[in-house]
């Protein structure tokens, strides 16, 4: 959804929602990918690859939701 034209409360609210959505998406992505990195450092290569594969699936769903006509994520 494009931002409303000109300054005002509607534009401010839209910007706030976009920033919140970006923060939540980034946090979720990091929360899924970080355990894979920790497992890799700990030497759990097979489990790390499995968690990494799950992270890729989560990334794809997140991207698909952002690219959908409603542009939600």
What pLDDT is stored for residue 49 in this prediction? 94
Tell me whether residue 4 is in a domain.
Answer: no
Tell me whether residue 51 is in a domain.
Answer: yes
Task: Please name which of 71, 64, 58 lies closest in space to residue 18, comparing C-alpha atoms.
Answer: 71
Task: Please name which of 54, 23, 24 lies closest in space to residue 39, comparing C-alpha atoms.
Answer: 54
Domain range enclosing 41: 9-67
pLDDT tens sequence across 25-69: 888 788 888 999 999 999 999 999 999 898 888 888 877 776 777
Tell me whether residue 31 is in a domain.
Answer: yes
67 token code pair: 């690219």
pLDDT > 70? residue 70: no
CA–CA separation, 3 and 56 (whole Å) = 30
Tell me whether residue 35 is in a domain.
Answer: yes
How many Cα atoms are found within 13 Å in the side-chain-facing hemisphere of 27? 6
- pTM over 0.85, yes/no: no
């Amino acid at each position: 959804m494009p931002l409303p034209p000109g300054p005002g409360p509607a534009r401010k609210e839209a910007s706030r929602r976009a920033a919140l959505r970006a923060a939540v998406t980034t946090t979720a992505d990091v929360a899924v990918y970080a355990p894979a990195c920790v497992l890799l450092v700990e030497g759990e290569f097979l489990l790390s690859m499995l968690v990494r594969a799950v992270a890729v699936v989560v990334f794809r769903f997140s991207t698909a939701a952002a690219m959908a006509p409603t542009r939600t994520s």
